[in-house]
Structure 1
Amino acid sequence: MRDLVRRIDAATPADRDRAVDALRAVAILGVVLGHWLVTALVADSGRVHAESPLHYLPQLAPVSWVFQTLAVFFLVGGQVGARSYAAARSAGGSYRRWLGDRLTRLFRPVAAVVTVWSVVAGALLASGAGLETVGALGKLVLSPLWFLLVFAALTAATPLVARLHPLWPLAVVLHVDLVRFGLGGPAWPGWINVAAGWLVPYCLGAAWARGGLRSRTTGWGLLGGGAVATAGLVVCGGYPASMVGVPGAAVSNLNPPTLAAVTFGLAQCGAALLLVGPLRRVLRRPALWAAVALVNLWAMTVFLWHQTAMMAVTALGLLAGEPLPGLHTVPDGAGWVLARLAWLPLFAAALLVCWAAFRRYEQGRRQHRGGSRVVAGHRPAPVAGARRV
C-alpha cells in the first residue's frame, strides 16, 4: 500500500489542483450514499417495488441536503472542461478531437452496464419475474443516466457557454418556474430547466477556470445567498424541502430542476469554493491524495454500478425466506433507518466486487508516454521514471 501511495504521488504533476479532484470525489460519493439511503426495494407478494423513506419520514429531508451533490459535480465539470478545451486549443487541437476524447471516456463504461442489464432483464422476464419488478429494477439502474446525457450536452457546448454569465441561465430557471407555479402554466416548460438549471454551476466552473471566483467573499456570498434564497423558496414559496424526488409528491425539486434546487446548488458551490484552500493543504499528504485519486480514476464505474450493488445485496437477502429489516421492508420508521445504515458496508462490499469486474471498461488501454497511467480522470504530464499506476 505504501508503494502504491508513493507511485500515485510521484505520477501527479506538481501543478495539479488536487482540491478539484477531491470535490469531484465528494460529489460522486454523495450521490452514491444518497441513493443507498433514500431508495428502498420493498418485497411484497412476490413482487419488488421502489419506495423512499422521505415519503414516510419527511423529517429526513435534511439528508437530501447533504447527499444531493450534483451541483458540485457540474461546478467541477465546468472548471475542468473549460480548462481542458483552452489547453487543447492552445496546443493546436481540434474541437472534434477534444470532444471525442472526453465523450469516449464518459460513455465507454456505460456500454458495459447497459449490456449487462439487458441480459439480466431478459433473464428475469424469462424466469417469470413480473414486468413491474423488472421495470422497477431497470429504472433504478438507468435513471441516473440522465445526468450523463446532460453533462455530455454541456461538455459539447463548452466553447459556447465557457464565457456565459451564470445569471443568464439562472434567469431562465426563474422565468420557467414563474410560468409553471406562479401563473399556473403547463408542466412541460419545466424540462427547459434540465439544461438551464445545471448550466448555472457549469458556468460558475468555467468562470473559475478563467481565474474568477478566487475570493473567499465570493464563496461566502454564494453560500449565504443561496442558502437564504432556498430557505425563502421552501418556507414562503411552497417548494419541497427535499432536494431529491419523493415518490407521490406533487412537485420534485430535481425532476426537472426547480429554482429551489438551483439556489441550493449555488449554496453548495459556495461551500465547495470555500473548501478549496483547506483541501489543497490536506491533500499534500500522499495517503489522502492517493484515496482521492483512486476514487476519481474509477468514478464512473462507482457511479454506474452502485445501484446494481444495492440490488445484488437485496436479491441475495431474499434467500433468507422472509423480508429483512432495512432491506425489503417499508421505510416507515426509525428502525428502518438504523437497519439501512447497518446494510451500507455490505452495499460497499458488493460495489467493490462490481468495481473489480468492470473497472477496465472505464480506463481502457489509456496510458502516457513514459508509462504513467492517467490519475484521477485527467491526463497529467508524463513523469520521468514513473511506473504505471
Structure 2
Amino acid sequence: MRAVAHRIDAATPSGRDRSVDALRAFAILGVVLGHWLVTALVADTGTHPHPRLHTASPLHSMPWLAPISWVFQTLAVFFLVGGHVATRGYASARARGTGYPRWLRGRLSRLFKPAAAVLALWTMVAAALLLNGADPGTVRTLVKLALSPLWFLLVFAALTAATPLLTRLSPLWPLAVVLHVDLLRFGLGGPGWLGWLNLPAGWLVPYTLGAAWARGELDSRRAGRLLLAGGAVATAALVAWAGYPASMVGVPGAAVSNLDPPTLAAVTFGVAQCGLALLLRDRLARLMRRPPAWAAVALVNLFAMTVFLWHQTALMVTTALGTLAGRLPGLHTAPDGLGWVAARLAWLPVFALALAVCWAAFRGCEHGPRRAGNRPSRVVRVHRGKNRPEQRRPHGV
C-alpha cells in the first residue's frame, strides 16, 4: 500500500493544488457521515405482516446534539470547490479552444452517469417491494432517502451549466435573494413555496465564492477570516434572535428546516464554512504532501459521485438485512438517548462495508468504459520494464 501511495504521489502533476481535492473529499465524507449519524429508520411492525420503517432523527429528541450538524453539514464547501474548479476549468477550456458544449458534456457526464444507475436500481426495488406486499409508506420512505442526493445533482448541474454567466457574479446578489425570500416567508407570512427559490440562490452563494476564489480575489487570509467571522456572527444572531433552528440539517417533525429548502441561516453558516475552508488551505496543502494522505484523498475524489449517491443505499441495505435479526439497537430503535448514539457509532463500520460493496458494484458507472491505457484506477504505466510515473492528474468532480 505504501508503494501504491508513493506511485500516486509521483504521478500527480507538481502544479496541482491538492488542497482543493482535500476540501472536496472532506465535504463528501462529511455529508456521508452526517447522514449516517442523524438518519434513523425506525422499525414498527404493528399488525402489518411486513416491518414498517419511518425516518427519525436523534436531533428531534436530543436537540443539544445540534453541533453535530455544524460539523457534518458540509455541502457549502462542496459548492465552493465546485465553483472554483468549474471557473478555472472553463477558462482553461477556452484557452485550449474547447467549445462550451464539449466542456459542459464532460462536466455533466461525471454527474449523471452514476445517477442513472441509482434511478434504475431503485425503480426495480420499489416495484418489487410493492408487488410483494410491502407497506407503501415504507417504500416511499426508502425511495425518498435513496434518491434524496439527486436534488444536489440537479442544482449543481444547473450552476455548472451557468458557469460562463456566473464567473463575475457577486455572492451578494444571491444572498440578497435568500434574505428577501426569508423575509417574505417568515416575516410577512408569504406562501411556503417561495422558499424553493432559495434552492438555487442559496447554493449559488458558495458557488460564486468559489468563482471569486478562482479569480484570485479570496487568496488572502484576511478574506477567509472575514467570511468565517461574518458568517458565524450572522448565523448565531439568526438562531438566537430570529427563531431559526440551531440544526443545520432537516429534522423530521420540525416546523422549519434549515436545509429543505435552504434558509438564510444555512447560507450564512455556509459562508462561515467557506471562510474556514480557505483558512485551512495551507495546512491541507502541507498534509497532502504526505503520500498516504494524498493517495486516500485522490481515491475519494476518483469515485466521489459513487460514494455520494450510494451512501444512503448502504445505510438502508444494512437496516433491511438487520431486520432479519429483530430490532437491533442503533439500527431500528428510536433515536431517543445516548445509548442509541453509542450503538449508531458502532454501526458506522458496517455502513462503510456496505458502501464498499456498492462502490465495487457501481464504480464503473462513474467513468464508463475507457481505453486500457487510460483507466482511472491506474496512475503509472510500465515502460520497457521500468515504472515511470504517468503525468496526469487524479480525476475530480
Verify the 8 A CA contact 1:7 1:386 in the aligned structure 2: no
Letter in 2 for 1:18: R
Residue 42 of structure 2 is matched in structure 1 by: 42
Deviation readout 1:199-232 (Å, 9 max, x if unpaired):
0000000011111101111111111110010000
Shift of 1:105: 1.2
Shift of 1:375: 8.9
| Separation of aligned partners in 1, 2:258 and 2:66 | 12
Letter in 2 for 1:202: Y
Residue 84 of structure 1 is matched in structure 2 by: 89
- 1:264-279 aligned at under 5 Å gives the runs 264-279=269-284
Verify the 8 A CA contact 1:72 1:268 in the aligned structure 2: yes
Greater Cα shift, 180-189 or 165-174: 180-189
Verify the 8 A CA contact 1:9 1:289 in the aligned structure 2: yes
Letter in 1 for 2:6: R
Deviation readout 1:40-92 (Å, 9 max, x if unpaired):
01110221111111111111111110100000000000000000000011111
Letter in 2 for 1:252: S
The 3-state SS of whatever aligns with 1:89 is helix
Q: TM-score, normalised by structure 1?
A: 0.95
Letter in 2 for 1:50: T
Shift of 1:11: 2.0
Q: TM-score, normalised by structure 2?
A: 0.93
Question: Aligned pair in 2 of structure 1 residues 374, 367: CA closer, same or farther (>3 Å)?
Answer: farther
The 3-state SS of whatever aligns with 1:255 is coil
Letter in 1 for 2:339: G
| Separation of aligned partners in 1, 2:295 and 2:370 | 19
Q: From 298, 303, 309, give the equivalent of 1:293.
A: 298
The 3-state SS of whatever aligns with 1:49 is strand
Count of residues paired in the alignment? 381
Shift of 1:386: 2.3
Letter in 2 for 1:5: A
Residue 77 of structure 2 is matched in structure 1 by: 72
Residue 353 of structure 1 is matched in structure 2 by: 357
Residue 15 of structure 2 is matched in structure 1 by: 15
Q: From 331, 334, 338, give the equivalent of 2:335.
A: 331
Residue 255, structure 1, aligned to residue 260, structure 2: yes
Question: Aligned pair in 2 of structure 1 residues 101, 384: CA closer, same or farther (>3 Å)?
Answer: farther
Verify the 8 A CA contact 1:326 1:336 in the aligned structure 2: yes
Q: How many percent identity over aligned positions? A: 71
Shift of 1:119: 1.3
Shift of 1:7: 2.4
Residue 235 of structure 2 is matched in structure 1 by: 230
The 3-state SS of whatever aligns with 1:267 is helix
Residue 220 of structure 2 is matched in structure 1 by: 215
Letter in 2 for 1:41: L
Verify the 8 A CA contact 2:13 2:391 in the aligned structure 1: no
Letter in 1 for 2:351: F
Residue 29 of structure 2 is matched in structure 1 by: 29
Shift of 1:374: 7.9
Verify the 8 A CA contact 1:372 1:387 in the aligned structure 2: no
| Separation of aligned partners in 1, 2:162 and 2:378 | 25
Verify the 8 A CA contact 2:238 2:265 in the aligned structure 1: yes
Residue 379 of structure 1 is matched in structure 2 by: none
Deviation readout 1:99-156 (Å, 9 max, x if unpaired):
0111111111111111111111111112111111111100000112101100000000
The 3-state SS of whatever aligns with 1:41 is strand
| Separation of aligned partners in 2, 1:57 and 1:19 | 35
Shift of 1:2: 2.5
| Separation of aligned partners in 1, 2:247 and 2:389 | 50
Letter in 1 for 2:273: Q
Letter in 2 for 1:313: T
Gaps of 5+ in 1: 377-382
| Separation of aligned partners in 2, 1:31 and 1:241 | 18
Letter in 2 for 1:220: R
Letter in 2 for 1:199: L
Verify the 8 A CA contact 1:372 1:386 in the aligned structure 2: no
Q: From 180, 188, 198, give the equivalent of 2:203.
A: 198
Residue 341 of structure 1 is matched in structure 2 by: 345
Verify the 8 A CA contact 2:79 2:210 in the aligned structure 1: yes
Greater Cα shift, 181-190 or 286-295: 181-190
The 3-state SS of whatever aligns with 1:327 is coil
Residue 100 of structure 2 is matched in structure 1 by: 95
Shift of 1:315: 1.2
Shift of 1:367: 6.3
| Separation of aligned partners in 1, 2:233 and 2:54 | 37
- 1:157-172 aligned at under 5 Å gives the runs 157-172=162-177
Verify the 8 A CA contact 2:12 2:391 in the aligned structure 1: no
RMSD: 1.8
Letter in 2 for 1:358: F
Residue 59 of structure 1 is matched in structure 2 by: 64
The 3-state SS of whatever aligns with 1:184 is coil
The 3-state SS of whatever aligns with 1:208 is helix
Verify the 8 A CA contact 2:245 2:258 in the aligned structure 1: yes
Residue 148, structure 1, aligned to residue 153, structure 2: yes
The 3-state SS of whatever aligns with 1:16 is coil
